[in-house]
Chains A and B, each alone.
Chain A
Amino acid sequence: MSAEEVQISCKFVTRLPEQYRIAPTPIAVPGKLTRYGLSEVINHLLNLDPPKPFDFLVQGELVRTSLEKLVVRKAISVESALEVEYIPAVAPPSEEATGKHEDWVSAVDGSWGAAVATGCYDGTARLWTPGGALMIKLSPPDLIDGASPAPVTTVCLLPPMSQGDGSRGSGTATGCVVVAGGHDGVVRSWGVEVDAKRGVASEIANQSSLFVGHEGAVKCVAAAPGGERVASCGHDHTVRVWHRDAGFAFDKTAGVTAGRKTKKSQAGKRRKGDDGDDAEPPARFLLVFTGHTDSVSAVAWESSNVVWSGGFDHVLKSWDVETRQNTQSYDVPKAIMGMACVAGGGRVAWCGGGDKAVHMWDPRVGATTGATTSLMSHTGMVVSVRWCPGDEHKLVSCSYDGTLKLWDTRGKLPLHTVNAHEGERAMGCDFHGPRRIVSGGTDGRLRLFKLEDSLTAA
Chain B
Amino acid sequence: MENTTGDAPSEWYREEEHIGYDVDGRRISKRRWNDSIENLLHTIDDPSYWRKVFDEKEDREISLSRAHVELIQRLRSGAFPKSSSSSDLKHEQNHGIAEVAWQINHEPKRRFIPSKWEAKLVLRIVRALRAHATPNALQSNTVEQKMIWEAEDASQRSTRDHTYLPAQKPKKPNHADSYNPPFEYQINDEDAPGTNGHDNHATRTLFNALRRVPSYSEFVVERFQRCLDLYLCPRVKKHRLHVRPQDILPPLPSPKDLKPFPSSNCLKFTGHEDKVLSIAIDHSGQWLLSASEDCSIRKWEISSSRCISVWRFRDIVKSVAWCPSPMANTFSACVASDIVLLKSTRASGSVPLLSSHHSVHSKVENSKLPEWKERDGEMIVHLASDVSKVTWHKKGDYFASFMIGGNNVMIHRMSRRTSQLIFRDQKFPIQSVMFHPYRPFMLICTRTCVYLYDLNKQSLIKKLSSGNQTLSCMAVHPGGDNLIIGTDLGRLAWFDLDLATSPYKVMATHASAVKGVAFHAKLPLFASVSDDATTQVFHGMVHAELDQNTLIVPLKILRYTSESNCDGVFDCVFHPTQPWLFTAGADRSILLVCDDN
Interface residues of A (CB under 8 A from B): 104, 106, 121, 147-148, 151, 153, 183, 216-217, 219, 235, 294-295, 297, 312-313, 333-335, 337, 353-357, 374, 376, 380-381, 383, 400, 425, 427
Answer whether residue B459 sits at the interface, using C-beta atoms and an 8 A cutoff.
no
Residue contact B577 to A106, C-beta cutoff 8 Å: no
B288 to chain A, nearest CB (A): 14
B549 to chain A, nearest CB (A): 29
Secondary structure at the B interface, as helix, strand, loop or mixed, is: loop
Which residues of A have CB within 8 Å of B595? 334, 353-354
Residue contact A183 to B308, C-beta cutoff 8 Å: yes
In the complex, given contacts A294-B285, A295-B286, A400-B266, what are 13 additional A-B residue pairs having Cβ atoms less than 8 angstroms apart? Answer: A148-B347, A219-B303, A235-B284, A295-B284, A297-B303, A312-B578, A353-B578, A354-B594, A355-B597, A381-B267, A381-B594, A383-B303, A427-B304
State the CA gap A153–B306 with chains docked (Å): 11
Which residues of A have CB within 8 Å of B266? 354, 380-381, 400
Q: Which of A121, A148, A357, A380 contacts B306 (CB 8 A)?
A: A121
Answer whether residue B322 sits at the interface, using C-beta atoms and an 8 A cutoff.
no
Subset of 24 A-B contacts with CB under 8 Å: A121-B306, A147-B347, A151-B308, A183-B308, A216-B284, A235-B284, A294-B284, A295-B285, A297-B303, A312-B577, A312-B578, A353-B578, A353-B594, A354-B264, A354-B266, A354-B267, A354-B578, A354-B595, A356-B597, A357-B597, A374-B597, A376-B597, A380-B266, A383-B303
Per the 8 Å Cβ criterion, residues 253-277 of B in contact with A are: 260, 264, 266-267
State the CA gap A448–B314 with chains docked (Å): 45
B263 to chain A, nearest CB (A): 10
Q: Mark B585-597, 1 if CB is under 8 A from A, else 0.
A: 0000000101111
Residue contact B306 to A151, C-beta cutoff 8 Å: yes
Residue contact A313 to B286, C-beta cutoff 8 Å: no
A298 to chain B, nearest CB (A): 11
State the CA gap A121–B596 with chains docked (Å): 29
Residue contact B580 to A354, C-beta cutoff 8 Å: yes
Which residues of A have CB within 8 Å of B260? 333
Which residues of A have CB within 8 Å of B286? 216-217, 235, 295
Residue contact B267 to A400, C-beta cutoff 8 Å: yes
State the CA gap A193–B305 with chains docked (Å): 35
Q: Mark B326-354, 1 if CB is under 8 A from A, else 0.
A: 00000000000000000000010000000
State the CA gap A130–B308 with chains docked (Å): 31
State the CA gap A427–B577 with chains docked (Å): 23
Give 5 closest A-B pairs by Cβ, nearest first: A354-B594, A354-B266, A335-B578, A381-B266, A235-B286
B78 to chain A, nearest CB (A): 65
A144 to chain B, nearest CB (A): 12
State the CA gap A357–B595 with chains docked (Å): 12
Answer whether residue B301 sits at the interface, using C-beta atoms and an 8 A cutoff.
yes
Which residues of B have CB within 8 Å of A216? 284, 286
Which residues of A have CB within 8 Å of B578? 312, 335, 353-354
Which residues of A have CB within 8 Å of B347? 147-148
Residue contact A106 to B284, C-beta cutoff 8 Å: no
Q: Which residue of B lies closest to A352 (CB)?
A: B303
Which residues of B have CB within 8 Å of A381? 266-267, 594
State the CA gap A427–B578 with chains docked (Å): 21
Q: Which residue of B lies closest to A236 (CB)?
A: B284
Which residues of A have CB within 8 Å of B264? 354
Per the 8 Å Cβ criterion, residues 271-323 of B in contact with A are: 284-286, 301, 303-306, 308
B303 to chain A, nearest CB (A): 6
B244 to chain A, nearest CB (A): 37
How many B residues touch the partner, as a band? Answer: 20 to 34
B282 to chain A, nearest CB (A): 10
State the CA gap A357–B304 with chains docked (Å): 17
Q: Which residue of A lies closest to B347 (CB)?
A: A148
B326 to chain A, nearest CB (A): 10
Given A217-B286, A235-B284, residue A354 in contact with residue B306 (CB < 8 A): no
Residue contact B597 to A312, C-beta cutoff 8 Å: no
A30 to chain B, nearest CB (A): 37
A165 to chain B, nearest CB (A): 37
Which residues of A have CB within 8 Å of B596? 354
A215 to chain B, nearest CB (A): 10
State the CA gap A353–B303 with chains docked (Å): 9
Which residues of A have CB within 8 Å of B308? 151, 183
B309 to chain A, nearest CB (A): 10
Residue contact B306 to A312, C-beta cutoff 8 Å: no
B344 to chain A, nearest CB (A): 11
Which residues of B have CB within 8 Å of A427? 304
State the CA gap A412–B303 with chains docked (Å): 27
State the CA gap A313–B286 with chains docked (Å): 13
Which residues of A have CB within 8 Å of B285? 294-295, 312
Which residues of A have CB within 8 Å of B301? 183
Q: Which residue of A lies closest to B303 (CB)?
A: A337
Per the 8 Å Cβ criterion, residues 156-208 of B in contact with A are: none
State the CA gap A333–B264 with chains docked (Å): 17
A338 to chain B, nearest CB (A): 10
Residue contact A313 to B594, C-beta cutoff 8 Å: no
A145 to chain B, nearest CB (A): 14
State the CA gap A380–B266 with chains docked (Å): 7
Which residues of A have CB within 8 Å of B580? 354
Which residues of B have CB within 8 Å of A357? 597
State the CA gap A148–B349 with chains docked (Å): 12
Which residues of B have CB within 8 Å of A312? 285, 577-578
A47 to chain B, nearest CB (A): 47
State the CA gap A425–B592 with chains docked (Å): 15
State the CA gap A183–B306 with chains docked (Å): 12
State the CA gap A235–B329 with chains docked (Å): 14
Residue contact B306 to A104, C-beta cutoff 8 Å: yes
Q: Which residue of A lies closest to B345 (CB)?
A: A184
Q: Which of A121, A313, A383, A400 contacts B577 (CB 8 A)?
A: A313
Q: Mark B507-536, 1 if CB is under 8 A from A, else 0.
A: 000000000000000000000000000000
Which residues of B have CB within 8 Å of A334? 595
B544 to chain A, nearest CB (A): 22
Of B260, B267, B285, B286, which is in contact with the most chain A CB atoms at under 10 Å from its CB?
B286
Given A354-B266, A354-B592, A354-B595, residue A106 in contact with residue B304 (CB < 8 A): yes
Which residues of B have CB within 8 Å of A335? 577-578
Q: Which residue of B lies closest to A427 (CB)?
A: B304
State the CA gap A380–B301 with chains docked (Å): 18
Q: Which residue of B lies closest to A374 (CB)?
A: B597
State the CA gap A335–B577 with chains docked (Å): 10
A380 to chain B, nearest CB (A): 8
Which residues of B have CB within 8 Å of A183? 301, 308
Of A148, A354, A427, which is in contact with the most chain B CB atoms at under 10 Å from its CB?
A354
Which residues of A have CB within 8 Å of B303? 219, 297, 337, 383
B325 to chain A, nearest CB (A): 15
State the CA gap A356–B260 with chains docked (Å): 15
State the CA gap A184–B299 with chains docked (Å): 15
Of A104, A297, A355, which is in contact with the most chain B CB atoms at under 10 Å from its CB?
A355
State the CA gap A427–B266 with chains docked (Å): 14
Which residues of B have CB within 8 Å of A297? 303
State the CA gap A357–B596 with chains docked (Å): 10
Which residues of B have CB within 8 Å of A153? 304
State the CA gap A153–B303 with chains docked (Å): 11
B273 to chain A, nearest CB (A): 19
B346 to chain A, nearest CB (A): 12
B572 to chain A, nearest CB (A): 16
State the CA gap A436–B577 with chains docked (Å): 38
State the CA gap A376–B523 with chains docked (Å): 27
Q: Which residue of A lies closest to B309 (CB)?
A: A148
Which residues of B have CB within 8 Å of A355? 594, 597
Q: Mark B560-586, 1 if CB is under 8 A from A, else 0.
A: 000000000000000001101000000
Which residues of B have CB within 8 Å of A383? 303-304
State the CA gap A312–B283 with chains docked (Å): 13
State the CA gap A147–B306 with chains docked (Å): 19
Which residues of B have CB within 8 Å of A106? 304
Which residues of A have CB within 8 Å of B305? 425
